[in-house]
Amino acid sequence: MAPSLSTTSYALLSLLVIDGGTDEGLTGYELKQRADRTLRFYWVSPAMSHIYTELDRLSSHAFVRADEDTTGKRTTKHFAITPAGREALQSWLHTSEHEFPVLKHPIALRLMLGSMMGADEVRAMLDSYEEALVARRRELEAVREMLGDRDAVAYPARVADWGLAFFDSEASTIDRIRDSL
C-alpha cells in the first residue's frame, strides 16, 4: 500500500522534476526559493521547517535521496527525486481526486461585512488590494517571461498564464464592486 502523503509532499516532488530536475538535486533552501518563485501563486509556499519535515517524510519512503556535501565545517544536503518518487508522483497525478480549491480570500470576507465599514472604507480597501494585485501580477509576469516558450517548462508556463488570467479577473471584479458602491 502506498504511503499517505500530503499535497505539499507532492508539490515538493514536482519542484524536483520541473525543468528536467537536476542529478545533483536541490537543497531545502533551493526548494524554498523555487517554491517562493512558483508555488506561491497557486498553492502555498511552505515554510522552511515544513519543507524539511516533508523532505524527511519523502526520504523515509525512499521517494527522495539526500546526498550530503561537506565543504569545510558545513554539511549541506541535496535532495533528488528517486525512481520510486517519480512513480509515486505519477500515481498521484493519475489517481488523486480533482478537489475543488478552497478560497481563503480575506478581502471577500471583509467585503461581506462592508456595511460595518461604510462605502468609503470599502473603496479604500479595494484600492489597496488592487495596488497589491498589480504588484503581484508584475511578479508573476516576470516568472512567465523567465519560463519563455521552452518545451521543458510548457506546463508551468500554462499555470503562469492561468495565474495572470486570475489576476485580470480579480481586477475586473474589483472594478465592478467599486462601481456598485
- Asked if residue 51 belongs to a domain, the reply is yes
pLDDT in the model for residue 21:
62
Rounded to an integer, what distance in angstroms lies between the CA atom of residue 23 and that of residue 168?
38
Range of the domain at 118: 106-180
The alpha carbon of residue 81 and the mean position of all alpha carbons in its chain are separated, in whole angstroms, by: 18
C-alpha span between 54 and 3 (Å, rounded): 13
Note the pLDDT tens digit of each residue in 43-82.
888 889 999 999 999 999 999 999 888 887 888 889 999 9
Would you tell me the crossing angle of helices 119-147 and 154-180 to the nearest 10 degrees?
Answer: 160
Question: How many domains does one find in the chain?
Answer: 2
- Cα angle 56-61-64, degrees, rounded to a multiple of 5: 65
pLDDT tens, residue by residue, 26-37: 989 999 998 888
Whether residue 2 lies inside any domain: the answer is: no
In terms of domains, do 131 and 169 share one? yes
90 in the same domain as 13: yes
The verdict on 52 and 118 lying in the same domain is no
Q: Are 64 and 58 in contact (CB under 8 A)?
A: yes
Give the ranges where the chain is alpha helix by DSSP (H). 7-17, 28-37, 48-60, 83-95, 106-112, 119-147, 154-180
Residues 118 and 91 in one domain: no
**Residue 70: per-residue pLDDT:** 82
Q: Across all residues in the chain, what is the average pLDDT?
A: 90
Residue 145 has which C-alpha cell? Answer: 517571461
Domain co-membership, 111 together with 41? no
Contact between 180 and 143 (Cβ < 8 Å) = no
Tell me: pLDDT of 147 over 70: yes
